[in-house]
């Protein structure tokens, strides 16, 4: 019992402020050598079909650009066939928005791919593929643009 009291007194006597290069409260935090996570690999998806119109959001502090796509097989990547959600933030979001992607466009995407598995209460699982863009999308083929303004539609009917 005497040891516990001395130990508590020693801890109380040590400075409580941190910032001594990892020596907080007199203890040295061991280095986490060997526990580093592996660096995510950048991937290029060469044949992506835009499925939905991207929705650009600018809150003033943060800019976001999510887009739903289908990465399809190509000559160089015959094994790839997946739906994914690509996203960009801040400056890259603004650059991506300038591409004016529309459903049906084909683009090349470069980014870090992450697969998330979601389990529903029914027991069903679904994998969601997310691509964090590291470069703005590169347009390969533009789908024919159709004007949807009333003025243009009326003009064509005359």
What is the domain-level CATH number for residue 87?
2.40.50.140
Element at 11 (helix H, strand E): helix 2-13
Task: Give residues with Cβ within 8 angstroms of 116, minimum separation 6.
Answer: 127, 128, 129, 130
Q: Quote the CA–CA distance of 106 and 50 in Å, as a whole number.
A: 6
Q: How many domains does the chain divide into? A: 1
Classify residue 151: in a domain, yes or no: no
| Residue 138 to residues 24, 26, 49, 156, Cα–Cα distance (Å) | 49, 54, 12, 32
pLDDT tens string 84-129: 999 999 999 999 999 999 999 999 999 999 999 999 999 999 999 9
The pLDDT confidence band at residue 35, using thresholds 50, 70 and 90, is low
Q: Is the pLDDT reported for residue 18 higher than 60?
A: no
The reply to whether the predicted model has a pTM over 0.85 is no
Classify residue 36: in a domain, yes or no: no
């Amino acid at each position: 019992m005497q040891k516990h009291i001395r130990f508590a007194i020693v801890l109380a006597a040590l400075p409580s402020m941190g910032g001594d290069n990892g020596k907080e409260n007199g203890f040295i935090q061991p280095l986490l050598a060997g526990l580093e996570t592996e660096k995510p690999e950048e991937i290029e998806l060469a044949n992506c079909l835009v499925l939905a119109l991207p929705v650009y959001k600018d809150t003033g502090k943060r800019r976001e650009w999510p887009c739903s796509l289908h990465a399809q097989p190509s000559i160089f990547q015959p094994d790839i066939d997946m739906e994914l959600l690509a996203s960009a933030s801040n400056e890259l979001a603004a650059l991506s928005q300038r591409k004016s992607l529309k459903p049906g466009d084909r683009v090349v995407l470069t980014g870090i791919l992450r697969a998330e598995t979601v389990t529903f209460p029914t027991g069903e699982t679904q994998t969601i593929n997310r691509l964090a863009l590291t470069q703005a999308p590169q347009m390969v083929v533009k789908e024919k643009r159709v004007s949807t303004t009333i003025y243009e539609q009326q003009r064509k009917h005359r």
